[in-house]
Chain A
Amino acid sequence: MTMLMLGEGAAPNTKRIELAMATRDIKTQDPKIDPLTGEFKVIAPGQTFKSVTAKIADIVLTPRISLGWMAFVAIAGSVAMLLLVAVTWLFLKGTGIWAVTQPVGWGFAIINFVWWIGIGHAGTLISAILLLFKQGWRNSINRFAEAMTIFAVVCAAVFPLIHIGRPWLGYWLLPLPLSMNVWPQFRSPLLWDVFAVSTYAIISVVFWYMGMIPDFGTLRDRAKSKFAKYLYGMVALGWRGSVRHWMRYETASLLLAGLATPLVLSVHSVISFDFAVAVIPGWHTTIFPPYFVAGAIYSGFAMVLTLAIPLRHFFHLETLVTDRHIDNMGKVMLGTGLIVAYGYGMEVFMSWYSASHWEFFMMWNRMFGPMGWSYWVLIFCNIAFPLTTLWSRKLRTSIPFMFLISIIVNTGMWFERFVIVVTSMYRDFLPSSWGTYRATKWDYMTYVGTLGLFTFLFLMFVRFLPMIPMNEIKMMLPAAKITPKAKPVAGAGD
């Protein structure tokens, strides 16, 4: 992380840099390396304002629709149909088609809800927290990370809504003056969830859209077809790049970042209260809020990598999404992964230290009971494999390896939620009420269907919206530097 903090503006401290170069064994003449910091450059050299606009806007404005994109859309759309089928059957038959029953009353629905929301968190972290910390490298990846957040929240929101049994009465969750004169119960974490998740969804959409307004202006002015001009012109709201507008816009962005930061920390904390407030062994623990938030960011960065690696390959964006981004994301994953590892360790420790018979049995059952395999899958995917390999810079910048690790961590984080939900509940206090949990085909279809929906929405986004913020990239180019002293201008003044 120390090297990560050395931004572009860092003073040239040659001694330290030589040391860093020596220990890292990097060729100095490599054009991808910034000689000042010894890090990979955030943007590959040779970019101009014009080339950045052309590169990003033309992905959207080209009239050509590539066959590869069409094929992906066809596949993702078909997979998303599974969700439609599963939800239709659910509405006809009720939640009995799922595996939820006593003693496991919460199954795939809550597992997938928590998993998807967690994935969304990295998008907000990149767009808000890294903006506040002035991490310029985030600029290339923040737009599609935000898009990822929104689509992940869409997928997440499906699950609680279809799990409430009578989804057409979902509006009862809100404090509305209904004729029944019944109001929500504000002491329940489940209601807090309603407010946390809906606020998160709305603020994410606002932040995302606001960020795109200037880029829509660029698209409006570059579009050739009348339809595109009209459409992007409408959503650009008449943006014309006045510096007065820009200053208010920058203030609003910073404020939204400052607001989204406590929001993103609160959302997964509130979700963890759904568990932590209950008295079930394995849930009733105070470490849940920080451990959920760290896990969310861990899985979210894994998902950003899963998306960024194919994107930069297929759309030839290697000059804007560089090895530096992949490397830095690996570092963030290493950091949050270690927090998650501490959380797992503390859970095991507390089950012994609490001297509670039920806690101790829960942990033993989680590790060595009939579903113990899921705990070891989780340990391998989240701890054993990533946290041993991510230390190596060579592996962090190896694209196939990082793609592999992103898939593994996403799997691991799904199993974390599975372990928390299922293995805490299927053998609770009384052995006479013990049971098991076996997901049905409808559970799997719903889950796989949301994966299709997410991919489909993301494909639409990369084709029709600017996936990298052009103005933020331009700000980082060397040409954007204001040379300090004016030459005396002849004849200025009247």
Chain B
Amino acid sequence: MLRNYKIRLTENEWIKPVSGVIIIFIMCVIISPINDQGNLVFLKFENLANILRQVSENGIISIGMTFVIIAGGIDLSVGSILALSATITAFGVMDWQLGFFLTILIALLVSSFIGFLNGVITSWGKMQSFIVTLAMMTAARGLALYISNNNSRDIGFGLGAAPAIFKIFTTSYLGVPFPVYIFILATILFLIILRKSKFGRYVYAIGSNEEAAVLAGLKVKWIRTYTFIIAGFLSGLSGIIHTGQLLQGNPNDGVGYELDAIAAVVIGGTSLMGGRGSLEGTFAGVLIIGLLSNILGLHGIQKDFQLMLKGAIIVAAIFIQESGFRFKLLNIFNFNKKITS
């Protein structure tokens, strides 16, 4: 009995990914290129802040993806929702002259509504979320193209263009870009929701055993729908940041973002079967991907090699997660008896 308890402590889902981040960080420091002044390029404050800025879009999407996956679903439409939200944002401030806040409000409402549709069709239509969100991925992209007439919209400032406040997304405060604050804030907020709220418990419960959740009197259909609304909302938020950073709303952006988000969630130790996972892990997963891209970029390694390496790293990370790698290593060295007895 005692043994079981101890094993669980070491298997606490987020410990592995968080130690993974630390290991990879140290590795990055060691192999970092050195500049003319003899400083480590990787460790420069601007570089570290830049890493966070680069991962913030994927990071925000991954938060919502974590909720959906823990509840036992998957959301493939997040990239298209990002594109839709980015498009609405650009057209809102430029063509429609809705102003900053109203534009953002509409972009977030539309994104959340698409998440709501995902949830309703999955829950009440009794369909697999994979199929439903795959269809939504196509449909939302189509809507973005329809709104924009298949054109990207550049953001300009001044009279008859975007308000000056829109520059906030490209501004830094205390040396840290504004999107990073949104990313960190969103992570903390949803971390509290997942860990401390009633809703958070229900998310784990329906992902762990849907039948049991029904018999225990949970509103399974609504809980699942809420997770999709969160995913849609955060994808929309990410889309606004996307437009704000690029100063362009492009309906063809965000392709493949769903896979980056799923990768981050899974590297973070969340089970694709549902019921198990954490936002701490997802945060670590997002950072792992960001750190690796950054160090490869600093070494001038081309995009093609970066992608191949990224694929290998995802598989390796999941292998370590799923197989109880540590225990296997211990078995090899025959230490297991000491640990488990």
Q: Answer yes or no: are A and B bound together in one complex.
A: no
Interface residues of A (CB under 8 A from B): none
Interface residues of B (CB under 8 A from A): none
